[in-house]
Amino acid sequence: MKILVLNGSPKGKYSITLQTSLFIMRHFREHAFSVIHVGAQIKSLEKDFSKAKKMMEEADMILFSYPVYTFLVPAQLHRFIELMKEMQVDVKGKYAAQISTSKHFYDVTAHQFIIDNCKDLGLEYLEGLSADMDDLKNKKGQADALHFFQRILFDIAAERGQVLKPFTNLKDVVIVADLDADDENLKHMIDRFMENCTEKPKLVNIHDFQFKGGCISCFNCASTGTCIYKDGFQDLLRNEIQSGKAIVLAFTIKDHSMGYQFKLYDDRQFCNGHRTVTMGMPFGYLVSGRLSAEQNIQLLMQARAEVGGNYLAGIASDEYDLASSVDQMAASLSWAIENHYTKPANFYGVGGMKIFRDLIYEMQGLMRADYKFYKSHGQLDFPQKHKGRIAAMYLVGSLMKNKKLKSKMGNKMNEGMIAPYKKVLKK
């Protein structure tokens, strides 16, 4: 494929984000990558857009590569997108993906901005990688970047019908459904999912489960991890549901949520406290109803996966094309299980876990099971511990304050910042 990277960082070749794109380029040499520094060259692009237009129209995929700037993308990239529309660049049907770096502060709105504009331009949006600006310096960040691109290649193969079905590994999925006997559509969706599996996965129908009641916040579980209710829910959760390799939640939209029964299910999971016990297990959804009108449910599904450390492999709905929507989710889930796929957490995940981290730390005396879990999983990641980094920033800060030194520095600051990334690329 011809892949065109639109580097939206005003820092041009000194962009941290660009280093991730270059890292991917070096690993996938079978594809022809090229770069336009749209962020740094926006003024000249405003004068002459013809070369950029030609490059975009000749590409098979457009890869937006940019830093998150104030909830969205840098103004320069915004202007470039405006020009794409003004100049009627014909990119209809081409693939699109995005890579951003940031500190995850509202990276979600930036990503949605790109997704929405891809839709306007008729681009076929595939995937996004929202990396922390430090990610590429470590092994996990490097693996995440490569996995992200492999995922894109898988999506393209699936779209072209090059993925073999049914999937053997879907037998290890647990489907948790709130399935009423009269709910024909949801049943169709579950049946269709089953058709994608070589062996039927386990189906736990919580519609039939006799909950003795909702969580009453007695905090009995906080220290012992055990719920006071003796209705068997805790065993069902731990032995039948959390023991699978992936979870598919199936429901019909009711009262702008997953319905009362699923609310009981969610609240009673308080017996796990704030522990991310299903971390690493991919999630999928089968949703019956007008999902496109339910922004809050969509956010809920994303946020739940993010805070739990679960990759959201897909959300299938019966709103348009039930069969292809379910098949797509099944293929994606199978790939995620096969590849142990995880993605860096975004604003919902990073932000949510910072709130929990502070809460658990402060309430460690009461929430003992949570505290033990957070401690052993390195989730008490307070910045106060990064003493070397704090000291280094003081040093840079005082150098920047010195006018003489600052004028002599030139591009040294940018060069210094990307030096560790260049080292990774050299390797």
| CB nearer ligand FMN, residue 325 or residue 346 | 346
- Locate tokens 């995922």: which residue? 151
C-alpha distances in Å from residue 303, one per residue of 110, 246, 264, 283, 297: 16, 17, 18, 12, 10
The whole-angstrom separation of Cα 182 and Cα 303 is 30
Angle CA 125–131–136, to nearest 5: 125
Question: Interhelix angle for 347-362 vs 368-376, to 10°?
Answer: 120
- Locate tokens 């889930």: which residue? 333
The verdict on 16 binding ligand FMN (CB under 6 A) reads yes
Tell me which of 23, 33, 64, 69 binds ligand FMN, using CB under 6 A: 69
The verdict on 345 binding ligand FMN (CB under 6 A) reads no
Tell me which of 68, 96, 312, 316 binds ligand FMN, using CB under 6 A: 68
Least distance from C-beta 34 to ligand FMN, angstroms? 18
The span of 12-20, 146-154, 185-193, 327-335 binding ligand FMN (CB under 6 A) equals: 12-20
The verdict on 314 binding ligand FMN (CB under 6 A) reads no
The span of 14-22, 181-189, 323-331, 350-358 binding ligand FMN (CB under 6 A) equals: 14-22
| CB nearer ligand FMN, residue 21 or residue 288 | 21
The whole-angstrom separation of Cα 269 and Cα 234 is 8
| CB nearer ligand FMN, residue 7 or residue 276 | 7
The verdict on 15 binding ligand FMN (CB under 6 A) reads yes
Instruction: Specify the 3-state DSSP secondary structure of 157.
Output: helix
The whole-angstrom separation of Cα 182 and Cα 423 is 61
| CB nearer ligand FMN, residue 85 or residue 103 | 103
| Of the candidates 43, 37, 42, 40, the residue with the CA atom closest to the CA atom of residue 22 | 37
Tell me which of 73, 118, 133, 175 binds ligand FMN, using CB under 6 A: 133
Tell me which of 34, 44, 70, 224 binds ligand FMN, using CB under 6 A: 70
Least distance from C-beta 388 to ligand FMN, angstroms? 19
The verdict on 36 binding ligand FMN (CB under 6 A) reads no
The rounded Cα 330 to chain-centroid distance in angstroms is: 18
Tell me which of 76, 101, 130, 252 binds ligand FMN, using CB under 6 A: 101
Question: Looking at 68-143, which runs of residues are DSSP E strands?
Answer: 95-102, 124-132
Least distance from C-beta 334 to ligand FMN, angstroms? 33
The whole-angstrom separation of Cα 240 and Cα 192 is 22
The verdict on 103 binding ligand FMN (CB under 6 A) reads yes
| Of the candidates 131, 122, 142, the residue with the CA atom closest to the CA atom of residue 62 | 122
Show contacts with ligand FMN in window 268-297 (CB under 6 A). none
The verdict on 307 binding ligand FMN (CB under 6 A) reads no
- 215, containing H or E segment: none
| CB nearer ligand FMN, residue 5 or residue 126 | 5
| Of the candidates 301, 228, 208, 312, the residue with the CA atom closest to the CA atom of residue 268 | 228
Question: Looking at 266-321, which runs of residues are DSSP E strands?
Answer: 283-288, 312-317
Least distance from C-beta 74 to ligand FMN, angstroms? 7
Contact residues: ligand FMN, CB under 6 A: 9, 11, 15-17, 67-71, 101-107, 133
